[in-house]
Amino acid sequence: MSDSLEQNRLFRAGSQPLEQVVDEVVNLAEAIWYQGYCPSKEELEQLSSAMPREDFLRTLCVLEMVSQYPVCQADRAKYLQQLTRQFHDRLLGSDEVPRHGRYSPSSRWGLAEPTLQIRKALLPLQTRTHADATGYRHGLSA
C-alpha cells in the first residue's frame, strides 16, 4: 500500500471507533472538500486488504458521510456515493440508501457506533464563510 498522506488519513479514519477518530475524520473531510482529494477505487481496494473488515467499513462510512455535505463538490460527492455503494453491495449486500430525511450511516454500515461527535466537528467546516476562507473551490462555490 502506498504511504501517501491521504491514504494514511483514510486508514486512520477507520482505525478506531468513530468517536475516537474525530480529528482524523475532520482532516480527511478537509482534504476531500477543499484540497481536491478523492480516493480511487484502487486505493480503497488496497485499503480493504490492509485493514480489518470493521475498520474498512468505518472508513467507507466516513466517506459516505463526508460526501453528503453540500460543501463537497457535486461531482466528487456523486463519485464517492457510487464508490461506497459498490463496496456496500459487495461487503454487506445491496440496500437502498435513504434519499430523504435522516438515517444513521454507521447503522447502514453495520457499525454500532454514534456519529454525533463527528457531525458536530464537521459543522463549522462546512459553512460558506469557512469554505470561502480556504481559498479552494468547493460545493458551495458559485
Q: What is the pLDDT of residues 64-122, one digit of tens each?
A: 999 988 889 899 999 999 999 999 999 888 776 655 556 678 888 889 999 999 999 99
Rounded CA gap, 42 and 25, in Å?
20
Q: Which domain holds residue 70?
A: 5-93+105-133
Task: Give the rounded percent of residues in the chain with a pLDDT score beyond 90.
Answer: 51
Residue owning grid cell 430525511: 101
- Residue 141, in any domain of the structure: no
State yes or no: pLDDT of 3 exceeds 50: no
pLDDT of 35: 87
Exposed/middle/buried for residue 79 (C-beta within 10 Å: 0-12, 13-18, 19+)? middle
Task: Give the rounded percent of residues in the chain with a pLDDT score beyond 70.
Answer: 82
Residue 9: band (very low, low, confident or very high) from pLDDT cuts 50, 70, 90: confident
- Residue 98, in any domain of the structure: no
Number of domains making up the chain:
1
- Residue 140, in any domain of the structure: no
- Residue 70, in any domain of the structure: yes
Is the pLDDT higher at 140 or at 6?
6
- Residue 142, in any domain of the structure: no
- Residue 99, in any domain of the structure: no
